[in-house]
Structure 1
Amino acid sequence: MNAGLIVKLLALRQTHRLQSLVRPPRRRFNPIRFIRRKQSADLILCSGAADIRYSFGIIGGISIVKVIEPQADECSLEVQETHLIAFARAFILGDRAERWLHMTVENPKKARVALAKLPESLNPQFCKRISGADAWPESLTDRLGSDRGVYFNGKGAARRTIIAQAAAIRNDAVFSLVPGKLAVCFFHEGWTWICECGQ
């Protein structure tokens, strides 16, 4: 476990009188379980090359841990379209690529529907599903580096961020590092795909 993470957990426990336990992650990287807490607060946890922000609190006696979407720079529409078009042409199955482009580029209001159905449209020749520790933000940073890419989840304009922050959110989304050559796809059930094409 990251030494910086342990220091921050101890500081958090001292400062807010929390009883927290470290547990093995399940679907998403979530190192803290809350036992009891009186108010909610934000904490930034060190995670490899990036800081990931979590919001903690108790609602109706139930502990809540929520990832706060990272603040990232908005991309221009031109950059967004370049990445989405290249992604569709390289990694979406041929018969579904045009429909996917229509829903993400031409009619972005339907993008969330297209992203929710993304796993069945990915070309298995180029996209490999990863799970467990390989899908953690740290592992993805080690594998892909800490370069900024384009993160698109259909909730608005694409944003420039790094893989560790994108992986912490785990919604239906595409994170494109190199247009048409390297991308990571996230699915709301915790699945992750790495899409690579050498062409």
Structure 2
Amino acid sequence: MLGMRGKVLIGRGGLDVKQVIKVRRLKLIRGLNPSATNTAVDEEGWFNSGDIGWIAPHHSRGRSRRCSGMVVIEGRAKDTIVLSTGENVEPSELEAAAMQSSLIQQIVVIGQDRRRLGALIVPNKDEVQELARRQSIVTNGSELQEDELQSLLYKEVKAWTADFTFQIGSILVIDEPFTIDNGLLTPTMKIRRDKVVERYREQIEKLYN
């Protein structure tokens, strides 16, 4: 982590195993909510950051090749998806990859206690319509059909996340963007995953059934 000084201790799992990041120096947590701070600090004085991360090995390759020996933060522990197989998935990695597509405005990867992952996608309708026109799926003035929209977005997600171990299965296309006003975004513009899942619970059940 750039800008941080201190001794990095390796967790029980080893160097390149993802674990919750903990910090022990009380000055780091001044100003936090007292009750929340007391909950986050264990008996030995370790502050639970809530972040999932790992230490990149020296001479590492791939996306961590420039981070050897550094702590790499992957996401938030509360966001981790545990599949019914017991495997853990960090949705933020898949979402970040999918968001590179100009067709996708917002995405939430789901799959808690399921056998496979799914995703809720808010499309960038103008970009989708333009692509459909270029591919002659629609003509000028005609609208993209629901199944055609679904197919375009699914192919796009698969293309951008092809290198990941865990793949997104079915997708659910959402018409209404996630906003602060509808309660699906925080004031800092982060998606409220739990609220999104709750809002679209019935559609999600149909997606998996």
Name the TM-score, length of structure 1 as normaliser.
0.28
User: Which is bigger in relative contact order (C-alpha 8 A, separation at least 6)?
Assistant: 1
Structure with the bigger percentage of helix: 1
Structure with the bigger percentage of strand: 1
